[in-house]
Structure 1
Amino acid sequence: MTTITVFKGDGIGPEITDAVIDILNAAKAPLTYEFFNVGAAEYERNGALIPEAAFQSFDKTHILLKSPITTPIGKGFRSLNVTLRKKYDLFANIRPAKSNTAVKTPFPNVDLVTFRENTEDLYAGVEEKISDDEMHSIKIITRHASSRIIRSAFEYAVAHGRKKVTCVHKANIMKLSDGMFLDIFREIAPDYPQVEADDKIVDNTCMQLVMHPENFDVMVMPNLYGDIISDLTSGLIGGLGLLPSMNIGTDYAMFEAVHGSAPDIAGKHIANPTALLWSACMMLEHLGENETARRIRQAVDDVLAEKKCLTPDLGGTAKTEEYKDAIIAKL
């Protein structure tokens, strides 16, 4: 049995976490859990967004399943996602987007993966006030961080039988920072002759993704572009409720749904746990439990295909618990 840390988050976080844990248990995943409440609600209760005991658990287990967290809006509060990524050097954010049978979109054959560098770029939040009328935000790109995310994308492509890796950049304008990222991509690509390598400017990438997403396979890019483009890819498949992700470092791994805590529907029992469940499947695969992950994915696919028991965001009327029970019945 593997012990993992679970952050239940707030908003819809506890509801979808409970559903996912029930499905994991029904699939007999060989896991035990250490649960923690985190986020804005925890701050209101105990004065800490993430309790120290929660950090200590992750320090020990090295595996975190995290549901959506609300970071209070206002000065002095840094994004908890950014905090966790920086603290544990979770340098690779990996977000697969694949079409499904439940949601009809103009693009029925999307199957692509975004590799987002997770620790630097503008997203690192290094800013300075020049005057009341001028603020500077510093874009940081390093050879170390760029090399490891690019190599990770190629390694993933090889391991998963992917055909192409595309580097996304704005090197035509940011010739030093994005220029170095692109140069490193071109240096590394020849080490993987079995994988096609190309590059696209980020604005052109966005246009091409909504015209011909079938032309993309694996994409790798600096942090801010990855944040934007991965949300775009979720739109191709029906929304953030269907987009899982994992954040991988050398020693630690965090698995999370990409969507937010949706406080407007919290407690209504209509939240869709699919993104968090598929993130949990990525966690199982990371732990070598490929067959358990495959069985859960197949059960979800079967329920989506039947369209009899879907949550409102998928066009149905089912409660979260009813959708969960339908998946468990398929297992």
Structure 2
Amino acid sequence: MNKIITLIPGDGIGPEISESLKSIFAAAGVPISFETENAGTDVYEKTGELIPESLYKSMEKNRVAIKGPIATPIGKGFRSINVYLRKKYDLYSNIRPCRNLPGVKTRFENVDIVIFRENTEGIYIGEEKYEDEGKTSAIAIKRITEKGCHRIIKSAFEYAKNNNLDKVTVVHKANILKLTDGLFLETARKISEGYPKITLEETIIDNMCMQLVSRPEKYKVIVTMNLYGDILSDLVAGLVGGLGIAPGANIGDDIAIFEAVHGSAPDIAGQNKANPLALILSGIEMLKYINLHEYAEKIEKAVLKTLEVSDVKTADLGGIATTTEFTDKIIENL
């Protein structure tokens, strides 16, 4: 019996790249079925709801979802639909793998980094207030808990252990933020004691940015708080070719959402120009998560072969192929 996955196509180019994903999975014989539920601008314009109740029910039944880019209407509803879903389902671990891919030209070589970003705390809790009636001074709250620190840092160390990696880099600003970032750093030090074969490297956030654009090949696993992780994951994606080839996963204890982290690109929506690679790579990570490793490997090999030996690529990858042509080439290489 096929595993049922909730598919959230999203806005803009989301439906097009979702069709690409479905076609490749079908051609590879992946034993899953997609249950489609949508959220975002298109849904809001049709129903007045940014996230319909049917999507929640599907998520809570299937426990695994994959989604395209979602646009949050400005001035309406949530600050961010993505942030809301992460908080609602306590998807505390945002995992962003970034590596050099064959046939994708960049200035850097041998980049293979996984960023573990705490996903539910920090400055992104969205608690803000004015200090005075004239609204000339505002405060944003940054909340860090020992529980939140422990589970994301533990996830990073377990990943390093399971992949035979000998270093985890914890990124912080504890030299200034001695209580919040200090708690994160102290928790990392305590957890590292349980992994004697893995070195804990401590790096301040501003230095981390410089190191990543100077010697990114030095780093394998980075773990950090919400805002720093948001910035670093986009920075690292830029090292290997951009957000168009960057997969993402939001994982909790018993529920997960895999996603293309780029924008909805409304300027090219419906033109068959979009690069579906970020969603496809996220789909590969999803297959690993649900223990369909054979299919994940099969699709990954086809993607890498397409990039390495074929000139059938979308414009952002240096080619002139349409979304459909690029998808068909991957299927041909399965």
1:307–1:316: 8 Å Cα contact kept in structure 2? no
> 1:285 aligns to what?
288
> 2:248 aligns to what?
245
1:100–1:108: 8 Å Cα contact kept in structure 2? no
Q: TM-score, normalised by structure 2?
A: 0.98
Distance 2:233 2:261 in 1: 9
Indicate whether 1:166 and 2:205 are aligned: no
Q: TM-score, normalised by structure 1?
A: 0.99
Distance 2:286 2:271 in 1: 28
1:193-244 deviations in whole A, cap 9, x for unaligned? 1212111000000000000001111000000000000000000001000110
2:168–2:223: 8 Å Cα contact kept in structure 1? yes
Distance 1:77 1:89 in 2: 16
Q: Cα RMSD over matched residues?
A: 0.8
1:97–1:113: 8 Å Cα contact kept in structure 2? yes
Distance 1:75 1:18 in 2: 28
Q: How do 1:1-331 and structure 2 match up within 5 A?
A: 1-74=2-75, 76-131=77-132, 132-331=135-334
Uncovered stretches (5+) of structure 2, i.e. residues with no partner: none
Q: Secondary structure of the equivalent of 1:186?
A: helix
Deviation at 1:75, TM superposition (A): 5.2
2:116–2:222: 8 Å Cα contact kept in structure 1? yes
Q: Secondary structure of the equivalent of 2:85?
A: helix
Deviation at 1:307, TM superposition (A): 3.6
Q: Secondary structure of the equivalent of 2:101?
A: coil
1:121–1:141: 8 Å Cα contact kept in structure 2? yes
1:254-311 deviations in whole A, cap 9, x for unaligned? 1001111111111111101111101000100001011100111110000101241000
Q: Secondary structure of the equivalent of 1:261?
A: coil
Uncovered stretches (5+) of structure 1, i.e. residues with no partner: none
Deviation at 1:252, TM superposition (A): 0.4
Percent of pairs with identical residues: 52
Number of residue pairs aligned between Structure 1 and Structure 2: 331
Q: Secondary structure of the equivalent of 2:34?
A: strand
2:37–2:58: 8 Å Cα contact kept in structure 1? no
Q: Which amino acid aligns with 1:104?
A: K
